[in-house]
Amino acid sequence: MTLTELLRTAGGDPATNAGYRDHPPRMGFFTDTSVCIGCKACEVACKEWNHVPEDGLELTGMSYDNTQGLGADTWRHVAFIEQRKQLGSQEPGVFHDGRNGSTAGGSSQLRWLMASDVCKHCTEAACLDVCPTGSLFRTEFGTVVVQEDICNGCGYCIPACPYGVIDQRKGDGRAWKCTLCYDRLSVGMEPACAQACPTDSIQFGVLDELRQRAAARVGQLRDAGVADARLYGHDPDDGVGGDGAFFLLLDEPEVYGLPPDPVVTTRDLPAMWRHAAIAAASLAAGVAATFLGRRP
Amino acid sequence: MTPPEVTRQGVANPRPGRQAPTGGRRGGAEAAMVPEATFDSYYGKPVINQPVWESPDIPGYFYFGGLAGASSVMAAAAEASRRPRLARASKLAAAGGLGLSLLGLIHDLGRPERFLNMLRVFKPTSPMSVGSWLLSIYGPLAVAAAGSEVTGWFPRAGTAAAFGAALVGPAVASYTGVLVADTAVPAWHEGHREMPYVFVSSAAVAAAGAGLLSAPVAENAPARRMAAIGVAGELAGSALMERRMGLVAEPYRRGKAGALVRAGQGLAVVGAAGAALAGRRSRLAAALSGLALMVGSACTKWGIFEAGLASARDPRYTVVPQRQRAGTVGEHRTGQPPPG
């Protein structure tokens, strides 16, 4: 098996590629941010279920988001964006011409965007590729999980992740992130965040079904006049082979702190090893060459 | 409510502080370096997480690994060409460099007692796994070569170990270039084609410096030539790398990283020039040149390390190149939803 074959899983099922013969379908999250109300029940449920320690009790002053971002002790993060931008407004009691959802052309001067971010459980996961101990592994559900009894805290997964998800826990030394509630999935339950979400902004299920549902939802929103609605991480042909946890966003990804076009770093690894081999040979040849010639 | 405006008469409709609009749409607090590259961010927060690798552990691991790997090649060549003092100096530099490199790597682990988990699997997709296996092959060879040199025991086995270390040494010096480049850190990954060449050149500079510092002038001619070739390679590789990087090369020129990179290149040039001009006559000049080369190589590795950290901190370096790749940089992309 070549390195390229080891790395490329695009188009295939990640659990099958990881060597599972008989495995359940790939599970994932579809986070529909258009119905997120920013209640942060997902953050709380995640912490409660997974015993995730406190991640800092501070007021950022930038918005209602005091969590700030994903990390070792934050496996769900609700982003909160305030924009001076017309979203459209509802007019109570007025006939809506058969449309559901919001109607455009209102007078609202401001909109709030809320989005619950989480580990993307990439099809081509850089954290998993670069982990030197085998602590990070692919589960039978196609998700990516850290084995905490193996991790030696080398920290390589942290700069490898193009989304800024995984991080090292202070005072513990190991790397931690969302497990997509591997323990709950194993007994047929849905992850804690999805179960706690009061608006079904976080939807858990078989990834193929979620992708169909998301395509229908984005079409519904566009028909209702929400031209900014778009899916993020749903495409199996993107730079990470598609995300196991993907999103419906109402603005550009970077507005939510997401990279606009992430590419798994290991796509370039075969080229890097080639350059390293040539560089090593050049070093050997170069040093040997300095010993040629006359002795003084 | 009317939004605040700045007019010739002053600020109209100012908001009280607690109503100030949050989260400026422009990311980053500094003025734009590249004016056309406007970009959005989440309150200026970085997209990727900061590497938790610490200084001096990890840059030291890169630097001493390079010093060791290149010194092993020099030791074997010196042995073959009957330069015993240079061979001895290089073997000691290799063993010392290896020890300090491993120390940096292990000390930086969150769980140092689990270091041996590095050898639990072999993963060609993980440069750190490949590197751990390389070091576990290279380490005993380098230590045996130096040990035999110092004690005089088992001279033939020691020579064999020295040649074995010379075979693995170049890989030890170059894999760390892949290790940094195989990340989402913009200033590291965007240099992935050139990084291994910069790393081995810098390693050659360090090993040449160690040779000049500790070998007599009668034997230091190869080290002087190696310094010149190494510095030329490092300068050329860095220039090519920065040119290809575009915007992401900025951290290599600014702040702490920029100062380290400039110091590294300056010291390397001074060291190589000093060695070439006076290294064959004056033992002191050779030693000082060697010291400058070693410090210069260390500064280069530190500068690359710091440039990566700086590029990870600023979302500009993550967002703008990705937007440029998609061909949508600077467009007004977030229009109003169409009426109706």
pLDDT tens-digit map of A211-241: 999 999 999 999 988 889 999 999 999 999 9
Residue A93 has pLDDT above 90, yes or no: no
- Collect all residues of chain B within an 8 Å Cβ-Cβ radius of residue A150: 114, 117, 120
**Residue A103 sits at the chain B interface (C-beta within 8 Å):** no
**Nearest-angstrom CA–CA distance, B273 and B288:** 11
Q: Which of A46, A27, A34, A35 is nearest to A210 (CA)?
A: A27
| Cβ–Cβ < 8 Å for B232, B271 | no
Tokens of B254: 């600014």
Name the residue in chain A with its Cα closest to that of B24. Answer: A83
**Residue A288 sits at the chain B interface (C-beta within 8 Å):** yes
Q: Do A162 and B70 touch (CB under 8 A)?
A: no
Average pLDDT value for residue range A35-54: 97
Chain centre distance of CA B304? 4
Is A2 contained in some domain? no
Q: Region of A113 please: left (phi>0), alpha (psi -120 to 50) or beta.
A: beta
Q: What is the four-CA torsion angle of B9, B14, B20, B21, rounded to 10 degrees?
A: -60
Q: For position A6, what pLDDT does the model report?
A: 67
Question: Residues 115 to 174 of A: which have CB under 8 A from any B CB?
Answer: 126, 129-135, 150-156, 158-168, 172-174
Provide the residue count of chain A. 296
Q: Do A168 and B110 touch (CB under 8 A)?
A: yes
Q: What is the pLDDT of residues A94-128, one digit of tens each?
A: 555 555 444 444 556 788 899 999 999 999 999 99
- Collect all residues of chain A within an 8 Å Cβ-Cβ radius of residue B337: 86-88, 104, 225-228
Q: For position B326, what pLDDT does the model report?
A: 77
Instruction: Work out the minimum CA distance from B147 to partner chain A, whole angstroms.
Output: 23
A43: Cα within 13 Å, side-chain hemisphere: 23
Residue A87 has pLDDT above 80, yes or no: no
Residue owning tokens 């790397």: A175
Beta strand pairing call for A27-32 and A245-249: parallel
- Collect all residues of chain A within an 8 Å Cβ-Cβ radius of residue B177: 272, 275-276, 279
**Nearest-angstrom CA–CA distance, B330 and B340:** 28
Residue B158's contacts (CB-CB under 8 Å, 6 or more residues apart) are B144, B145, B147, B148, B149
- Structural domain including A103 reads 9-264
A vs B: CB pairs below 8 A: 307
Is A78 contained in some domain? yes
- Collect all residues of chain A within an 8 Å Cβ-Cβ radius of residue B27: 254
Which among B48, B111, B233 has the least Cβ separation from residue A162? B48
CATH code, domain with A25: 3.30.70.20
Q: For position B1, what pLDDT does the model report?
A: 46
- Burial label for B49, CB within 10 Å (0-12, 13-18, 19+), is buried
pTM of the model: 0.89
HEC readout, chain B: CCCCEEECCEEECCCCHHHCCCCCCCCCCCCCCCCCCCCCCCCCCCCCCCCCCCCCHHHHHHHHHHHHHHHHHHHHHHHHCCCHHHHHHHHHHHHHHHHHHHHHHHHHCCCHHHHHHHHCCCCCCCHHHHHHHHHHHHHHHHHHHHHHHHHCCCHHHHHHHHHHHHHHHHHHHHHHHHHHHCCCCHHHHCCCCCHHHHHHHHHHHHHHHHHHHHCCHHHCHHHHHHHHHHHHHHHHHHHHHHHHHHHHHHHHCCHHHHHHHHHHHHHHHHHHHHHHHHCCCCHHHHHHHHHHHHHHHHHHHHHHHHHHHHHHHCHHHHHHHHHHHHCCCCCCCCCCCCCC
Q: For position B5, what pLDDT does the model report?
A: 60
Is A90 contained in some domain? yes
Q: For position B337, what pLDDT does the model report?
A: 38
The residues of chain B scoring below 70 in pLDDT are 1-37, 328-340
Which among B22, B108, B222 has the least Cβ separation from residue A291? B222
Domain ranges of chain B: 57-317
Q: What is the pLDDT of residues A156-169, one digit of tens each?
A: 999 999 999 999 99
Domain count, chain A: 1
Q: Do A158 and B114 touch (CB under 8 A)?
A: no
Question: Residues 225 to 254 of A: which have CB under 8 A from any B CB?
Answer: 225-228, 251-252, 254
DSSP helix/strand/coil, A31: strand
Is A287 contained in some domain? no
**Nearest-angstrom CA–CA distance, B161 and B140:** 8
**Nearest-angstrom CA–CA distance, A18 and B231:** 44
Q: Domain B57-317 adopts which CATH fold?
A: Formate dehydrogenase/DMSO reductase fold (1.20.1630)
DSSP helix/strand/coil, A222: helix
Q: Do B322 and A262 touch (CB under 8 A)?
A: yes
Distances (CA, A) of B204 to A67, B83, B96, B201, B252: 46, 18, 16, 5, 21
Residue owning tokens 């971010």: A117
Whole-number average pLDDT of chain A: 91
Is A291 contained in some domain? no
**Nearest-angstrom CA–CA distance, B277 and A293:** 18
Tokens of A21: 């013969």
Tokens of B131: 């590197």
Is A80 contained in some domain? yes
Q: Do A129 and B339 touch (CB under 8 A)?
A: no
